[in-house]
A and B are shown apart, each in its own frame.
Chain A
Amino acid sequence: MRAQATEPRPPARPGPMVDRPTVLVALEGVSVELDERLILDRVDLAVHAGEIVTVIGPNGAGKTTLVKVALSLLAPTRGRVTVRPGLRVGYSPQQLAIDRAMPIDVRGFLGLGGPRGPAELGAVLEEVGLAGVERRPMRALSGGELRRVLLARALLRRPELLALDEPLSGVDVAGQLELYELIATVRRRRGCAVLLVSHDLHLVMAATDRVVCLDRHVCCSGTPEAVARDAAFLHLFGDRLARVVALYQHHHACRHDPPPGRDP
């Protein structure tokens, strides 16, 4: 678990306790049952303007379901979802499987979210570090490039809330660090809130304000540091976590340039 907060935090970001920032999305006592199986059990979660909330949990913990409920893609079986009226959401789904028979390039894909001029497309692609790929077919993109294009499409909506479901899937470790860096930069520059879901327990973005540890119910939540120490978290991921952290440290030792947000 990489949980320290060494990256300078944006001064403009409203502290959750200080000036009672706007709640963008709030889930209260949300339960979801599918096929008589309990996917989510009385989950409370609020995302405030400008904050980064990272939801972690093992496979089958209901993370994707949680995002879908928060985005009103799925109605909860019980509980209440409140979305601030008129909220602009940018969404990057967990998977994007474009059929072989669908001919579409990056420009066309980005244009599906709404009519955009070439200058706007060029600017957003540059922002996600993919300048000049407008004419590239979507199916020719690598895993990391695809994640960046999905992020670009979400950003084109000028979102107040960015919902990213497993934004690192299909990306190698070096690419994962770069993507986290990118997401942190985007938040700093645009001031949007980020709801990020990850099954990756050992790599939580340093810029995260709040970690929510999910295993159908909310095991624990708090600052990254607090969650890492929490007994419930250790119970849930205990041994595996120790192994994975060791692996991660090993990898880190091999790198010449330390990943951002990490003590030298």
Chain B
Amino acid sequence: MIEFKDVYKSFDEKHVLRGINLTVNEGELISILGPSGCGKSVTLKHIIGILQPDRGEVWVDGQLVPKLSRNELQELRKHIGVLFQSAALFDSMPVHENVGFMLRMHTKMTEGEIAHRVAECLEQVELRGVEELNPDELSGGMRKRVGLARAMAMKPDYILYDEPTTGLDPKTAIIIGDLIVRLQRQLKITSIVVTHDVKLATEISDRIALFHEGKVAAVGAPDEISRNDGDMIRRFMEGQL
């Protein structure tokens, strides 16, 4: 379980998070929805300890993230997979090394076992025969899928998706959305999807947290949100939020 308790974060004079309170339950798929610059990605970075809150608490599996030691933090990160907005594949490595990176760094698996697990992860994201390709030979959608395969390689308890469909054509965005749902259902991974794609959020999420001005303006199941906070979603879609 992940919990944000009254989390504040500022960068110089810019107040990005202004008292975030949010609980992510085990096994659920929650989308954080909101306009650009409202603190969605900053919220994700607090979970893995890349950013520290100015005030408030971030709890992951009963551990207070900002208080963890360097080693404890690194241990926690092994249980959290992250799909970055740009996929953030290591461009000096081919696909199979990217996907097997954490296995090589954190496990004592043999090269054969790693190759098997890499193939398994790529199969789960419906990619075949790309092991030897370099990241610059992949399309945007393929890069995201390789990024997702890399995030899954260590069989994490959580996967954080940072704008998973940004920059993709509608068809590929649907494929990625389906993939997120399928992986969450099959592997029972707690998933947090940061997005400004209302359609994606309403289609795939168990719950949606709507961010506005650094706070959680509304949280609930998609139909509940559209029923109670439909006006806010409409204003967000019209660019008024």
Chains A and B belong together in one complex: no
